[in-house]
Structure 1
Amino acid sequence: MRTGPSCLGSGSIAAPTPPARPRWRAPCRGRAASLAPYGAWRQAMVDGAAFPRNHEGRSGWRINQIAGLVPTPAFDSDPHIVLLMAGTNDVIQNDALANAPQRLGALLDKIFVAAPDALVVVAKLIPVTFSDAAVVTYNNAMGAVVETRASAGKNVVLVDMHTGFPASELPDGVHPNAAGFARMANVWYTAIGDLLR
């Protein structure tokens, strides 16, 4: 399962250029055909092939709205790996940012109840060029949120999508272009690739 903001790619919002949303999946598809993120509403095409409909990327959704998908329908398929990047829209919409890390923690706790044996890979947010200081503040708080749960025995890791992500790969300041999606795919794959062999 993979869930989070539209910058992860649902095809549900207008792209700055023709649909770039599924492009993070193509590098992963080439490296691991069994990678199947979550979602039941949309059939994406990657390199001309149907990609499993197990993904979500919701335009404008905040952490609390994503949490509304857990346990159902998000965990109806009992995922083994959950890729989660959540909080971009909380930052963009300036939604009580001081409490965003607690909302992320509550979402993670719901995920652990719904899929106690799944590996949950939490990603720091990619840059938001017009509000990156808020992104950095939120990203810096994520470490403690994840570490608290890992120390309690939860199967969770944190990956860094932010460091080294150039603004040139964010044509609208939020959503990646093809190079940005490839960068994201490499970060995800580095975290889960050994589990897919």
Structure 2
Amino acid sequence: MPLGDSITDYGCWRAWIWERFQKEGYNVDLVGGERAGENCNSLNFDRDHEGHPGFMAVDIVAKNQLVDWLKKNPADIVTMHLGTNDIFRGNRKTAEITAALGKLVDQMRDHNPGMRIIVAQIIPLPAVDKQVQELNQAIPAWTASKNSTASPIWVVDQWTGFTSADLKDGIHPSESGDVKMANKFYPALIHAMETIGGNGTRG
């Protein structure tokens, strides 16, 4: 389940990940109640996701939305790129955001005690990038505090190496940004699958 805001909803990084799954022989079902997606170079890909434009992690928790999303679309692995709107729209502090992410992790594990969780250090947001960097710097220690053997969490650094050329509007990834996001999420997803099924779900 790709979970996030408009960066997940609009993001063609999901399409590039799907293409690699197909080329490398992995049988993967992306899940979620949303099916939006850009043209993505006319790629034919599994569009299911839970990317919601404008959504903040703190509101997803307050409204208990993830519980219903997971009930309708069960998942074994979640990629989570959240926090952009909490900073940009909500002016939320880092501690508030990590607390909300922690609640989301708890809800994932309530749904599936063996959930594999991939958390992004989010892509740059030039207008408020100091706050973005503060959140990203806090994520590894927060992740370590939430990690467990039964339900491991991995951090994927989506900020490092992401340039202004990788943003099409100062917020969302351009095509080059989508490729960079896919290239960072993909090996973490393969590793997560392998921890579930030995050799993953290649077939």
> TM-score, with normalisation over the residues of structure 1?
0.84
Structural RMSD (CA):
2.1
Determine if the alignment matches structure 1 residue 81 to structure 2 residue 83: no
Show the 5 A alignment for 1:4-43: 4-8=4-8, 10=9, 21-33=10-22, 34-42=27-35
**For each residue in 1:135-180, what CA deviation from the matched residue of structure 2 results, as whole angstroms up to 9, or x when unmatched?**
0001111112211111575321111001111111112111001110
Report the Cα offset of residue 49 of structure 1.
5.5
Between 113-122 and 128-137, report the one with greater CA deviation.
Answer: 113-122
Aligned AA for 2:83? Answer: G
**For each residue in 1:47-101, what CA deviation from the matched residue of structure 2 results, as whole angstroms up to 9, or x when unmatched?**
5465334302211100023333222123433211111111110010243314211
Pick closer, same or farther for the CA change 1:41–1:26 going to 2, 3 Å.
Answer: closer
Q: 1:135 maps to which residue?
A: 132
Q: 1:52 maps to which residue?
A: 46
Q: Distance in 2 between matches of 1:102 and 1:136?
A: 17
Report the Cα offset of residue 27 of structure 1.
2.2
Report the Cα offset of residue 46 of structure 1.
5.1
Aligned AA for 1:52? Answer: D
Q: Which has the higher helix share?
A: 2
Q: Distance in 2 between matches of 1:117 and 1:179?
A: 33
Q: Which consecutive residues of structure 1, in runs of 5 or more, have no partner in the other structure?
A: 11-20
Q: Which consecutive residues of structure 2, in runs of 5 or more, have no partner in the other structure?
A: 194-199
Aligned AA for 1:2? Answer: P
Question: Which of 55, 58, 64 is equivalent to 1:61?
Answer: 55
Report the 3-state secondary structure (helix = DSSP H, G, I; strand = E; otherwise coil) of the residue aligned with 1:176.
coil
